[in-house]
Amino acid sequence: MNHTYVIIMAGGVGTRFWPFSRTNNPKQFHDVLGTGRTMLQQTVDRFDGVCPPENIYIVTSDKYKELCQQQIPSLTDDQILCEPIARNTAPCIAYACYKIAQRDPQANIVVSPADHVILKEEEFRRTIGTALQATADQDILVTLGIKPSRPDTGYGYIQYIPDGDSDGKNGRPLRVKTFTEKPHLELAKQFVDSGEFVWNAGIFVWNVQAIMAAFRKYLPETAEVFEEGTPHYTTDKETSFIDKAYSLCKSISIDNGIMEKADNVYVVLSDFGWSDLGTWKSLYEVSGKDEHQNAVDAHTMLYDTQNCIIKAPKDRLVVVNGLDGFIVAEYDNVLMICRKDDEQKVKQFVAEAKEQGATFV
């Protein structure tokens, strides 16, 4: 029996990617990079060969179940775990891990978001293989760490203990010293300057016994809730049990709930062209550019325009004159033009559109 499993978290709304990412159709279900595959489809493709297709589970909102089925038709109903309400990543991961444990107590599990970009897929699979080897016979919690390119406040930071002269270059997991979730800017600058920290990529590897032990120790109420579901998983009572279970769960991330507290956390230093694609600027950074540093996924006529990201349906002609450093994005009756440096205002635009009674958020 193949004991490797993959959990893909696909429940987020991705507000910062509006107007593409909408409540009824978030970014993970879009072909954001213009490759012909959605982010969810690319994520599933990435694990080809890592585990059998029947060992992939997608956790998502119940309102996205149909989208998951349309985009990954090979999935059975049992492989799509529907959350009745959003409760952050700890309950989402607990649900999937306790369900897998009931099927296979020897399960070795990879947890991945559905909306990340990974440019070097072979290197990614190699790194995942290294982590899975380590967790197969050790009760450790492994995360993948990315060398930071800037002091970003949107990521968790991992301080690791170097392993002699190798400093993680041999790929072996290194013990984590501290785990800090989304620090303020000054602290992030100190972390980057020190050279002792890596970004937490939000991709985790562990065996199912290790993560259940961590839930029992650090989030005992969550552990208790999902342990009670053991007789109901993969039966017709699962949905009604989960509806009740989620109403009892507090909303907390796996980072805050477990990773920051646990003493058996390790990191594999990784370099596989990673971006969490959380914002328009991050999409700009990973996209191909023309000679004027414009990232274009649209039918365009551009004049005196540089350093822009332009994304629109191909049946539109977008004519731009005299812009430098802007986002120009159109989707489903919404056109947004915003400075790249002001991209944090996108959430504000969405909130104000909602207040005005707009239906396209």
pTM score: 0.93
CATH code for position 37: 3.90.550.10
Scan for tokens 């004049």, then name that residue. Answer: 303
Does residue 349 sit within a domain?
Answer: yes
**Per-residue pLDDT at 168 exceeds 60:** no
Longest distance between any two alpha carbons in the chain, whole Å: 65
Average pLDDT of span 157-176: 77
Distance (Å, whole) CA 190 – CA 224: 39
Q: Are residues 324 and 226 in the same domain?
A: no
Last residue of a domain, one of 250, 275, 300: 275
Let me know whether 92 and 222 are in one domain: yes
For residues 134 and 253, membership in a common domain is answered with: yes
212 and 346 co-located in one domain: no
Question: Which of 247, 275, 303 delimits the end of a domain?
Answer: 275
281 falls within a domain:
no
CA–centroid distance for 36 within its chain? 20
Q: Tell me if 117 is assigned to some domain.
A: yes
Task: State the pLDDT at residue 167.
Answer: 54
Rounded Cα distance, 205 and 125, in Å: 13
What is the rounded CA–CA span in Å between residue 279 and residue 346?
9
Which residues span the domain enclosing 329? 288-356
Residues 93 and 206 in one domain: yes
Half-sphere exposure of 184 (CA within 13 A, CB side): 1
Are 258 and 132 contacting, i.e. CB atoms less than 8 angstroms apart? no
Does some domain include residue 176?
yes
Looking at the fold, whether 332 and 211 belong to one and the same domain comes out as: no
Q: Could you tell me if residue 21 is inside a domain? A: yes
Amino acid 276: pLDDT: 85
Report the pLDDT value the prediction gives residue 361, as an integer from 0 to 100: 81
Same domain, residue pair 107 and 162: yes
Which of 236, 252, 275 is the last residue in one of the domains? Answer: 275
Q: What is the mean pLDDT of the chain?
A: 93
**Residue 113: inside a domain:** yes
pLDDT digits (tens, 9 = 90+) for 53-111: 999 999 999 999 999 999 999 999 999 999 999 999 999 999 999 999 999 999 999 99
Residue 148 within any structural domain of the chain: yes
Query: Given strand 326-331, what is the order of strands in its sheet?
Result: 295-297, 309-311, 326-331, 334-339
Contacts of 227 (CB under 8 A, 6+ apart): 98
Do residue 176 and residue 295 come from a single domain? Answer: no
22, β-bridge pairs? 25
Look up residue 130 and give its amino acid.
Answer: T
Q: What is residue 154's predicted lDDT score, i.e. its pLDDT?
A: 80
What are residue 153's phi and psi, to 5 degrees?
Answer: -90, 0
Q: What integer pLDDT is reported at residue 179 of this predicted model?
A: 85
Name residues whose C-beta falls within 8 Å of residue 313's C-beta, 6 or more positions apart in sequence.
Answer: 298, 330, 331
Same domain membership, residue 117 and residue 17: yes
Q: Are residues 98 and 211 in the same domain?
A: yes
Q: What pLDDT, in 10s, does the model give residues 113-128?
A: 999 999 999 999 999 9
43 with 152, same domain?
A: yes
Identify whether residues 235 and 121 lie together within a single domain.
yes
- Asked whether residue 178 is domain-assigned, the answer is yes
Judge whether residue 49 has pLDDT over 60: yes
Domain count, the chain: 2
